[in-house]
Structure 1
Amino acid sequence: MTYRRIVIAVLSARFMRWQERLRLSLTKQWPETEVIFRFEPGDDAQSETVTQLLTLERMLLRRSKPTLCDRIDKSASTATLETNADVVIDLVGDISATTAARVLRPLYDGHTSDQAAVDAILSGAAPTLAVEDGATGAVIVEGVPSFEAADGLTGGLEAVYSRICFLIEKALADPDAQAADHAKKCDRTKARPAAFFLRNIAFRGLREIYRLCTRSPHWRVGWRHVQGPGVIETGSLTGPAWRVMPDQEVAFSADPFPIEWRGKKGVFFELLDYRRDLGEIFFQPFDDSGPVGAPVRSIQERWHLSYPFLIEEGGELYMVPEASTSGAITLYRCMEFPATWEPVANLVENIEAADATIFRHNGRYWMTSVIRDGYGGYSDVLAIHHAPSLFGPWERHGNSPVLIDPRYARPAGAVVSHNGALLRPVQDCSRGYGKNLAIMRIDALDPETFRQSQVSYLSPGGRWPGDRLHTINRFGDLECIDGAVFTPRPMSIRRALHERIDQRLEDPGAPLLAN
């Protein structure tokens, strides 16, 4: 969809950093389009106590770093509603009389004011976000933000504003879309900001003590040999007993991808050493009875690596490890199995993407991943790219991001073809990162369309004890999962606190309580 001019209507008394960020994002997405602000008169509806809470969090939790909630000076680029605009984005909530072809209006739990998002965050809930057609009231797109990385009210609002920007872009890209079964207006019980702040500080303190006492979460890999249908096909963890791959006290293991390549069998996985807090890709050799020998390092970079997705192409073995902090989705080729790999191509650049998962469908290559723009959670925005070959060129799906929902977005392993259907394992992160798994069936997929539906749901416990279930993969008869358990640290609280205090003395800017 092309536009000549987009006008963003905002309150003059409440012009915020996220609104300017929206303008810059739209300018980047539609470089030939003029994107300008219209400043509307009106009072700032934000309560003084909320303003004070955001100011306090900025000083204490953010060390005065800029946030998307900050007020900023008016932009010099302004317009009137009489300006011939193709679209007006109404961030005020009551723009109606306009000569624009269309008005798009964000909704927060069905309300036009973002105070509804504040109420939701203060009450401990994530609001449903949407964009409606200002003329008809029809909801075009909607989503739910993830608060897995949110820090206080500020972090919650940054997640909200970031995802509203994504939804506005989706509504502009597909003006004929219409959300099905969208959520109705929701009124939350109003919470007191002061009480929220005290609870948040208390929670941060308790969380830090918990982290000082435990390796939390301590991920571990489960494996078994299974004949016939496995977890993805049955939607169940039942069957042969799960056994735990050899573990290390100073490191955790996660994201298992089993493989048998040229007579060698084993599992690639992420190994994170707690002392370095940086993930690397290792390989655990297997024989028919289970793990044999010590794990072998396969890929090490300056940045964190995890989720070693594997794909065979043209008689060669390739890997696409998660490396979101590198700013690219990189393809590695195996030079000598399993320990020597070399990067051969950046499939997608200038992207903060995690858990890229590639599969073939209808003569094309498809890649799902979760993306973020520096704000909000890591598990709620599903992006899709597609290409004629593994090596590209990779194009963004016409409706990407196709989904904003922490329940069904983040990949949890390879896509499996079963009885003519593509089954996609996903992480349900709505109650926290990697808590549960769902198996989704891809019902429609082409360069402009994506639909999926849930066929089964899996939770840890019973045959796989712990409080998280994170990844499922299989190669041949070797099936692997992972999850997290409570593991005490091999040091006292007193020693750990002394280490943190010593760190603070060496670096006064270091937080005494971890973020």
Structure 2
Amino acid sequence: MIIQFRCERDHARRWMCRETLHVNGEDIPVQIAWTATTEPRPAGLEALFALERVVLRKGKAGGADMVKALPEQSQARLGDADVVVDFTTAERDRDSAAKLYLRPRFNGVAGENAALAAILAGNLPVIEIVNERDGTVIDRGHPSAEVAAGLSGGLDTVMARTLSMLAAAVSGAPRLVPQLAYSMGAPRKPAPYVLRGVATSIAKEIYRLCCYAPHWHVGWRYNDNSDIWQTRDLSGPAWNVLADPGNHFYADPVPVTWQGRTVVFFEDLDHRVGKGIISAIEFDGKGPIGDVFAVLEEPWHLSYPFLIEQNGELWMIPESTGHRDVPVYKCVRFPDKWERHATLLSGLELADVTITQHNGLYYMFGAWRDGTGGYSDTLAIYYAEQLFGPWQPHASNPILMDRATTRPAGNFVTIDGRLWRPVQDCTNGYGAALGLAEILELSPTTYRQTVRHLLKPGPLWTGRKLHTLNRCGTLEVIDGSRVQPKTTALLNRFRSSGKSSQPEWRGAIAKPVAERQH
């Protein structure tokens, strides 16, 4: 197979100049047929991109950078391909003999200017892959913007995710096309947009000099009555915050009762080294007791310690995207000793792995990434007859690209025979809100879900974000982020140094969140 990209010669960008597209585990050759420009770009666009490269990316190359010398291997003739992907706004080449003629659209409109207009309006566009021969939409997705710095970064992210979707469309795998609404705001002019972004970037750098960012914290409460899944909001008993030392953050809390003890496991990240480990603290029915203690550390970053019981044993599957695998650890001494037992999947980035059993099979959900674009917008599902596999990919992987409904946010629950899962809503940034999604259909070949309820930070859970939900018995846990001045961590260490060898925050029961200042 040969894939041909049709791109405008006068606006050649780094993301276009590729020799292959990774499809079904193989690198398929890509040719580029350069065409004439069909519509001009905004005046001064490339100068603004150059400014962003210096200020926002510290000189690092990006996919939106212009390419002046076109690669010789990219020269191709129109018509010499099995699949044509037309990135221009020109009419379809009706003489093309390609078996498949695709055109990406951004909020329903073809061309780079359409993608830029959406970004300038303050939102990354909905991407559609359209079969130009009959007008059908083969796939549709809405990317997340965690790595989209500025206008050029937004364009880079959009095109990276467009290539991800194209690989899936070309693979022949059945696509489960979601219904996603366009966000059609009024676009701003490029210069004010870029200058504002540069100013915001400088402000963030100053903020990071003064504060640890992001700084996640764990909320907990005992709720003897209805839980969040019943109330569909954060009402009920006041939330407490698990105290941290200031220069560490705690996130992704997962409670479990095992061998008569209730323990909450969580990501413990030291801001000074930027790497997470898995730590834990015990609860006694009233709150946390004893000290926070480390339970699992690797040379790479660990987070999201998903727990599952199998054959009378307790197992942990922490996020291990930095090592590009999905490992499983066996608890050999509860709660503080774990040993690596097996690798369920390898050679891929799959974040926040969460497993459920449904109709006799195990299903593994995770936020999938192919090395580019955002971290929270693409869902992949795998299934197996046994926990330890072999695990097979869902027929339509990647299942879904939608920043609002993709990334796992805690354990599955069953309510009145219906399966639900919490999802991260990253519409307004990573981990900004929680969605409660009902799974309508799940099999090795099908998947449908719908978000019924949305939970956001507010008076009942102050802070800036909300991105994990779990429960064990009457103990409910969530997490969010807050402003954490670096001086607070220094003050905590100073206060604790004169009292004991252990910092005073360890084992402390924090005030209800409503009493805290943020």
Q: TM-score, normalised by structure 1?
A: 0.87
Structure 2: distance between partners of 1:444 and 1:377: 26
Structure 1: distance between partners of 2:180 and 2:205: 38
TM-fit CA distance, 1:412 = 0.6
Residues 155 and 376 in structure 1, CA contact (< 8 A), matched pair in contact too: no
Structure 2: distance between partners of 1:481 and 1:178: 31
Confirm whether residue 92 of structure 1 aligns to residue 127 of structure 2: no
Q: Of residues 402, 406, 427 in structure 2, which corresponds to 1:405?
A: 402
Q: Of residues 243, 251, 254 in structure 2, which corresponds to 1:254?
A: 251
Structure 2: distance between partners of 1:214 and 1:489: 5
Structure 2: distance between partners of 1:276 and 1:224: 30
Structure 2: distance between partners of 1:175 and 1:219: 38
Query: Alpha carbons of 1:267 and 1:27: their partners in 2 closer, same or farther (altered >3 Å)?
Result: closer
Residues 86 and 102 in structure 2, CA contact (< 8 A), matched pair in contact too: yes
Residues 256 and 471 in structure 1, CA contact (< 8 A), matched pair in contact too: yes
1:280-295 matches, cutoff 5 A? 280-295=277-292
Residues 387 and 393 in structure 1, CA contact (< 8 A), matched pair in contact too: yes
Structure 1: distance between partners of 2:286 and 2:185: 55
1:98-113 matches, cutoff 5 A? 98-113=96-111
Structure 2: distance between partners of 1:447 and 1:178: 13
Residues 423 and 435 in structure 2, CA contact (< 8 A), matched pair in contact too: yes
Query: Alpha carbons of 1:482 and 1:181: their partners in 2 closer, same or farther (altered >3 Å)?
Result: closer
Query: Alpha carbons of 1:41 and 1:209: their partners in 2 closer, same or farther (altered >3 Å)?
Result: closer
Structure 1: distance between partners of 2:392 and 2:189: 46
The residue number in structure 2 matching 1:504 is: none
1:327-357 Cα shifts (integer Å, max 9, x gaps): 2122111121111112222222222221111
Give the aligned residue type for 2:85.
I
1:44-63 matches, cutoff 5 A? 45-63=40-58
Structure 2: distance between partners of 1:59 and 1:205: 12
| 328-337 vs 58-67, greater mean Cα deviation | 58-67
The residue number in structure 2 matching 1:66 is: 61
TM-fit CA distance, 1:467 = 2.1
Structure 2: distance between partners of 1:5 and 1:448: 28
The runs of 5 or more residues in structure 2 that have no matched partner are: 490-518
Q: Of residues 357, 362, 374 in structure 2, which corresponds to 1:360?
A: 357
1:332-343 matches, cutoff 5 A? 332-343=329-340
Structure 1: distance between partners of 2:301 and 2:479: 19
Structure 1: distance between partners of 2:180 and 2:294: 47
Structure 1: distance between partners of 2:194 and 2:321: 31
The residue number in structure 1 matching 2:512 is: none
Query: Alpha carbons of 1:219 and 1:20: their partners in 2 closer, same or farther (altered >3 Å)?
Result: same
Identity over aligned residues, as a percent?
40
The SS at the match of 1:410 is: coil
Structure 2: distance between partners of 1:223 and 1:27: 44
Residues 174 and 399 in structure 1, CA contact (< 8 A), matched pair in contact too: no
The residue number in structure 2 matching 1:498 is: none
The residue number in structure 1 matching 2:509 is: none
Query: Alpha carbons of 1:235 and 1:53: their partners in 2 closer, same or farther (altered >3 Å)?
Result: same
TM-fit CA distance, 1:315 = 1.5
TM-fit CA distance, 1:482 = 1.2
Structure 1: distance between partners of 2:178 and 2:311: 42
| 408-417 vs 247-256, greater mean Cα deviation | 247-256
Q: Of residues 449, 452, 474 in structure 2, which corresponds to 1:477?
A: 474
The runs of 5 or more residues in structure 1 that have no matched partner are: 493-515
Residues 350 and 367 in structure 2, CA contact (< 8 A), matched pair in contact too: yes
Structure 1: distance between partners of 2:247 and 2:176: 50
Query: Alpha carbons of 1:485 and 1:71: their partners in 2 closer, same or farther (altered >3 Å)?
Result: closer
Matched residue count: 486
Q: Of residues 357, 379, 384 in structure 1, which corresponds to 2:376?
A: 379
1:103-150 Cα shifts (integer Å, max 9, x gaps): 111001211111111122223221111111102222221111111232
Structure 1: distance between partners of 2:384 and 2:277: 28
Residues 331 and 344 in structure 1, CA contact (< 8 A), matched pair in contact too: yes
The residue number in structure 1 matching 2:131 is: 133
The CA RMSD over aligned residues, in Å, is 2.5
Query: Alpha carbons of 1:27 and 1:322: their partners in 2 closer, same or farther (altered >3 Å)?
Result: closer
Structure 2: distance between partners of 1:423 and 1:390: 20
Query: Alpha carbons of 1:253 and 1:34: their partners in 2 closer, same or farther (altered >3 Å)?
Result: closer
| 198-207 vs 93-102, greater mean Cα deviation | 93-102
TM-fit CA distance, 1:298 = 0.5
Structure 2: distance between partners of 1:42 and 1:175: 33
1:370-413 Cα shifts (integer Å, max 9, x gaps): 12233332211112122222212222222122111111111110
Q: Of residues 152, 163, 166 in structure 2, which corresponds to 1:165?
A: 163
TM-fit CA distance, 1:82 = 3.8
Structure 2: distance between partners of 1:491 and 1:182: 43
The residue number in structure 2 matching 1:196 is: 193
Structure 2: distance between partners of 1:175 and 1:267: 40
The SS at the match of 2:73 is: coil
Query: Alpha carbons of 1:371 and 1:393: their partners in 2 closer, same or farther (altered >3 Å)?
Result: same
Residues 12 and 74 in structure 1, CA contact (< 8 A), matched pair in contact too: no
Query: Alpha carbons of 1:227 and 1:285: their partners in 2 closer, same or farther (altered >3 Å)?
Result: same
Query: Alpha carbons of 1:236 and 1:174: their partners in 2 closer, same or farther (altered >3 Å)?
Result: farther
Query: Alpha carbons of 1:203 and 1:109: their partners in 2 closer, same or farther (altered >3 Å)?
Result: same
The residue number in structure 2 matching 1:145 is: 143
Q: TM-score, normalised by structure 2?
A: 0.87
Query: Alpha carbons of 1:393 and 1:125: their partners in 2 closer, same or farther (altered >3 Å)?
Result: same
Query: Alpha carbons of 1:217 and 1:334: their partners in 2 closer, same or farther (altered >3 Å)?
Result: same
The SS at the match of 1:412 is: coil
TM-fit CA distance, 1:181 = 4.5
Give the aligned residue type for 2:389.
G
| 170-179 vs 441-450, greater mean Cα deviation | 170-179
